[in-house]
Each structure stands twice: as C-alpha cells, then as structure tokens.
Amino acid sequence: MKLMKYFPLVALLTLPSTGFAQEIADTTPQMADIGYILTTFMFLVTGVLVFWMAAGFTMLEAGLVRQKNTTMQLMKNMALFSMASIMYYLVGYNLMYPGDGWSVSGVLGAFLPTTLEPVGLADTETDLTYASVGADFFFQLMFCAATASIVSGTLAERIKLVPFLIFTLVLTSLIYPIQASWKWGGGFLAPGDGSVTDFLDFAGSTVVHSTGGWAALAGALILGPRLGKYKDGRTNAMPGANLPLATLGTFILWMGWFGFNGGSQLYMDTAGNVADISRIMANTNLAAAGGAVAALIMTQILYKKPDLTMVLNGALAGLVSITAEPLTPGLGVATLIGGIGGVIVVFAVPMLDRLKIDDVVGAIPVHLFCGIWGTLAVVLTNPDATIGAQIKGIVVVGVFVFGVSLVLWMILKAVMGIRVSEEDEMRGLDIAELGMEAYPEFVQG
C-alpha cells in the first residue's frame, strides 16, 4: 500500500552502492552504535521533559501563594534551577557517579567538575553499551534541579532569598549528589555484588522526592509558620492567588513525569527496553489519575465540596508514589498505588497544620510522605524488593538529608537570619525583597 511507494528508495539505500562509493560517504550507523544512539536520544528527550517540570513547579507555586509573594516564587525557581545546573556541573555529577574514583569508597564520590566526551567522540574509546556522557549528565542534572525545587514551595511567603539560595547551593552540590551516589552511583545502598542492601528506587521516590521533602521539612521547622497562620488554636486559610496557574503547573509536572520515570529505564536499545518505557509511562499516567480521583473523592467526603488544590496535590502524590517502581505493577495496581498516595495527602495536609508546620503548597505530604509510601510499595510488585531493604534505604537517606539540612538551616538562621521581618512579610516579599509586583494594579501609561 503506501509503503510500496518507498520501495525504490529503500532498495537504493540498501543495495550495495559500488557505483556511488566515490561520491557519497557511507554514513550508515554501525549496528553497535544503534543502541547507543537510541539510548542517548531517549535521555535527551526525557531530559527535556524533566526540565519542563521546573516550569511546572514554578507555575504551581506561583498559583498557590498570595499575590504579593508571586514574584519571589518565580525568582526562587529561576535561580534554583540555574544554580542546580551549575553546581551539578562543578561538583555534583562526579560526586554522584564517581565510577572508580571514590574519595571514600561507597560513601563519598569524586570532587571534580564534569567533562564531556570530545566533539564527535574523536579519538575516544567510547563505551557504546550505554549512552553519551553528555546525555547522562544532562538527564541526571534535571533530577538534581527537581529536588531543589521541592524545598521552594514549602518555605514560600516568609523566607529570605539569599539564605534560601545558599541552602540550594549546598543541597545541589553536596547533599543530593552524596545520598544519590549511595544508591545510583554504586555506593553502599546499591544492590549487586558485595552490596549491603537490595534497596530499590527506580526513579527516585526516596532519592529525589523524599530528599526534597526532608530538606523542606527541616526548613519549615526552623523557619516557622507564616504570621497569622496559626492563631488561637485555629488554622487560618491563606488561599492561593491564581488557581489556573496552579493547575497548569500540575499538568506540566504530570507531563514531565513521563520523562522522569520513562527515562529512568536508562536504556532504549532493545525491544524489551522500549516496551518497558511504554509500560512505565502508562503506569505513571494512571498513578497520577488515581491520586487525583482519590483526592477528589476524599475531599468531597470530608469537606462536602472537593478542593481543587488537594486534587492537584493528589495527582502529584500519585506520581511520587509510583516513582519508586513504575515498571513492574500492572495498570490497575499502579492506579491503586497512586490512589493511596492521594488519600495520604488529603490527611497529611491538615495533620501538618495541627502540628503547626506550615507548608504552603503541600510539598511535604506529596514528596516526603508519598515518597516513603512509594518506596515501601515497591515490595507489592517487585519480587526482588524486601521491606527491610526499603526501610533501610528510607532511614539512611532520611537521617542524612534531614540531619544535614536541619544543621544547615540552623547555621543559616544564626549567621544571617532566614526569615524576613514581620513588616516585610505583611507587605509581601515581592515589594520587600524584589521591588517588583507580579500583578501591578496601576500600570503607567
């Protein structure tokens, strides 16, 4: 049928081209290269999708804070992503993937900036069984930046910009890469020969999401709640200024997650691998859907009216929950895993308020609590996982990230203060810290 029309062209390309040898160089990829090319390409595409999650977080946060603090969230997200990129290049990547160059074997990686392969892979003996260093670096960088953005939402509306950026600098250059090296970099949490555990975390429910969540929790405890949030035993609502942005942000995150989980398959060189990626994306989608619907039903039951912001959180909760194991579950189980994540956040948000922990966007319930749930849920569908190993991974990462973050926030508070003055908090960070309104009401001219 239609394919037949291409037959002459295909024949021309595949028949021995003796008559053409002198005129056209043969650029047909070697069979050995094809897997490398496809996997590298896959990383670039999925890396771009994960990058897009930065826009998602930014819009979600911009929509859930009050108008007077919007520009600050935008600034924080632009800055943290850029800083994460630079710090990951300068030190993070090799700290996370030292290969043979561990400073302390299995615990502390290499302190070196990243160097990519030379242009055109000239004069190199490239390992063609994987992907280019550039693609690997590019893809992993996005995960580092994603972790940093989790912290920004929780601490909104009362944190000073500079100490936040300093924390981000340490998080992206040291905290994240070090704990990630233990699992993904072949350190002491990685499964395999001589490994201590069989801790499984496919795309980072613990390594990325819980890490961000722990850092956010530590910050929220040291920073304190917003003025007027908890008064006389009541929790006061502070509704977000732009729900369309918040919703758009959530959809963007959902879309980016296809890359986040899909790319974590790490290979697209065989039929089996690419079929797995399709499985992962389908599961990822259903987990988000399950989480959103669960939150919709739960808020309807609890509050008589469904809460859009909880449905948004629910979708993200589903996504975080499936992130530890998006491959092995069937579609139904993936939906349920996401659904349970959605239920968790609906209860976790008011629970944090009762504990007087002020999390503006619900990042702690979504990323920390569901990160833990997602990591535990691996044992439901992956026979190689054990509950003991999962708990061990959760605890080790948790103690490290929470502990170091807590100390760092305390140091920053003591040295420079991390919170704006009461007057500035009332005026709004946009004017106080940045001198720039997000929605200027009286425009000149």
Partner 1 sequence: MCRKGKIVKLIIATIKPFKLEDVREALTLVGVRGMMVSEIKGFGSQSGHTEIYRGAEYAVNFVPKAKLEIVVPDAMADQVVEAIAKTARTAKIGDGKIFVLDVESAVRVRTGETDDDAL
Query: Which residues contact partner 1 (rule: CB under 8 A)?
Result: 234-239, 302-303, 305, 307, 309-310, 349-350, 353, 362
CA 19 to chain centre: 53
For partner 1, the closer of residues 330 and 350 by Cβ is: 350
**345 contacts 313 by C-beta, under 8 angstroms:** yes
For partner 1, the closer of residues 67 and 381 by Cβ is: 67
CB of 389 to partner 1, least distance (A): 35
CB of 263 to partner 1, least distance (A): 32
Give the 3-state secondary structure of residue 61. Answer: helix
For partner 1, the closer of residues 238 and 282 by Cβ is: 238
CB of 309 to partner 1, least distance (A): 6
CA 315 to chain centre: 14
CB of 61 to partner 1, least distance (A): 15
CA distance 144 to 84: 7
For partner 1, the closer of residues 201 and 358 by Cβ is: 358
Using alpha carbons, select from 320, 314, 367 the residue that is nearest to residue 342: 314
How deeply is 134 buried, as exposed, middle or buried, from its count of CB atoms within 10 A (0-12, 13-18, 19+)?
A: middle
For partner 1, the closer of residues 345 and 404 by Cβ is: 345
Kindly provide the b/e burial profile for residues 381-410, where b requires at least 16 CB atoms within 10 angstroms of the residue's own CB: bbeebbeebbbbbbebbbebbbebbbebbe
For partner 1, the closer of residues 28 and 236 by Cβ is: 236
CB of 237 to partner 1, least distance (A): 4
For partner 1, the closer of residues 90 and 302 by Cβ is: 302
Beta pairing partners, 159: 419
Helix (H) or strand (E) holding 408: helix 387-416
Q: What are phi and psi of 202, to 5 degrees?
A: -55, -60
In angstroms, the Cα distances linking 39 to 129, 130, 135, 140, 185 are: 9, 7, 9, 14, 19
Q: What are phi and psi of 50, to 5 degrees?
A: -65, -35
Q: Which two tokens stand for residue 157?
A: 């509306």
CB of 211 to partner 1, least distance (A): 24
For partner 1, the closer of residues 368 and 397 by Cβ is: 368
- The radius of gyration of the chain's CA atoms, rounded to the nearest angstrom, is 23
For partner 1, the closer of residues 268 and 344 by Cβ is: 344
For partner 1, the closer of residues 91 and 349 by Cβ is: 349
CB of 239 to partner 1, least distance (A): 5
Task: Give the number of C-alpha atoms closer than 13 A to the C-alpha of residue 54, restricted to the C-beta side.
Answer: 23
In angstroms, the Cα distances linking 265 to 178, 182, 328 are: 22, 19, 12
**312 contacts 246 by C-beta, under 8 angstroms:** yes
CB of 320 to partner 1, least distance (A): 18
* Other CB atoms within 10 A of residue 66 CB: 18
Look up residue 405 and give its amino acid: S
**50 contacts 411 by C-beta, under 8 angstroms:** no
